[in-house]
Structure 1
């Protein structure tokens, strides 16, 4: 589907997942034409985009591997040929947990490749078009693990914490062009990713709010940061974790 020219366009990496889907729906409700990204699951991205259109929103889908610089650039060039991408939500990320003493090189590099290198591969080509438009919103999804650490996740915490420094620096570089860059750091959020590691009794022990967050709660924060109302919020790491950090 071709974007409606009058709408600002937003790209959500990992938009076919549970959290990504909620973010896509929230952005569409806020008036964006949403580009739903999937990696190897274009059919899931198609489904999210179709659901948005059925609800009266504007959306399309795409799929590419954010760890591959060349493939990502080619995909973004094709999208940019249709117009500026005004907002990007770097939501793509993976877990591959192990204690660092037993972590393989592959586990370390794979997690960092997606969250950190993917952030660069996706965001960098969008910056100059945003600057020419004098408007841009960059939101990267981190984790409470990057703020307080978590056993078995040195790779994940390192990748997400790196986004904090990169985002603060990027915000300083681009702020005069009407572009903001912020980080959202969720805690324990409902969905498949928490699995059996976080039974209800453990969540009550860990989270002062005594419950897991909802994808829609994170999505609402992301959508706000991508709105005109958030123009003076920049270079921030905003936790959404029920009081964990």
Structure 2
């Protein structure tokens, strides 16, 4: 009887230690958040900083350096290490250079990649300029692929990693005036499922977060606000912190280690029934 008690006690202690290790697994590991100088990306960086990650604050051009540096300091104030890296996600060579910078900055391999960088160039489809179509596809879809591909080369070698792609509810339901944006985010959803199948056997999960209408600089000038709010069951726009909280959940092993290839809507219910 006593030996059985000792065995059960050992099992309980082992489970407790394992649980602790899972909860702490993101601490001290590099986490890349693309387009994180402002908006949702900034809030995601804050959430991961609270997990103790080493943050890579990515920004696309010199004009956002000051904002990126400010986010770096905010992450440090939260107790994390952080650096700012300028890289255009539409340029594979710049993405590769960013990966080299990450590898030379910390001993731990890249563990988290949040593909958040995105733009809008809205117009009715009949009036949409080819350049506006291509620009959105380049950043929102091709940029996600380039960063996921480069990150996965590191993660699959380490047999551990979390990739979270920021898609959108309009990638599921469409939206008037956003043919390019809807197509790009629908592509991200399909890409997420494919990468999850390809990388799953090597210890890497790939999921997508699909925000609805979130209060950011990119959505503040949307026309027909009253009509939009009427279509949202919760009757309000979401906050960047709410999207960031979902990303944090997906990047924490004990919460999401057995989740991959799925879409997680943070949309106030606007996508119900899709």
* TM-score (normalised: structure 2): 0.84
The aligned runs of 1:123-162 (5 Å cut-off) are 123-162=148-187
Match of 1:74 in 2: 97
The aligned runs of 1:5-154 (5 Å cut-off) are 7-40=28-61, 41-82=64-105, 83=107, 84-154=109-179
Instruction: Write the distance in 2 (CA, Å) between the matches of 1:186 and 1:135.
Output: 26
3-state SS of paired residue (1:146): helix
Instruction: Write the distance in 1 (CA, Å) between the matches of 2:69 and 2:58.
Output: 9
CA displacement, residues 37-81 of structure 1 (integer Å, 9 cap, x when unaligned): 111212211100111112322211111111112222122222223
Match of 2:270 in 1: 244
Gaps of 5+ in 1: 1-5
Instruction: Write the distance in 1 (CA, Å) between the matches of 2:86 and 2:71.
Output: 13
Aligned match of 1:233 in 241, 249, 259? Answer: 259
Q: Which region of structure 1 is more displaced relative to structure 2, 74-83 or 118-127?
A: 74-83
Instruction: Write the distance in 2 (CA, Å) between the matches of 1:194 and 1:103.
Output: 19
Instruction: Write the distance in 2 (CA, Å) between the matches of 1:63 and 1:118.
Output: 14
CA displacement, residues 143-163 of structure 1 (integer Å, 9 cap, x when unaligned): 111010001111001111111
Aligned length: 240
* TM-score (normalised: structure 1): 0.94
Contact in 2 for aligned 1:200/1:211 (Cα 8 Å): no
3-state SS of paired residue (1:120): helix
3-state SS of paired residue (2:221): helix
Contact in 2 for aligned 1:28/1:52 (Cα 8 Å): yes
Match of 1:3 in 2: none
Contact in 2 for aligned 1:73/1:125 (Cα 8 Å): yes
Q: Please, what is the CA RMSD of the aligned residues?
A: 1.4
1:215 paired to 2:236: no
Structure number with larger C-alpha Rg: 2
3-state SS of paired residue (1:195): coil
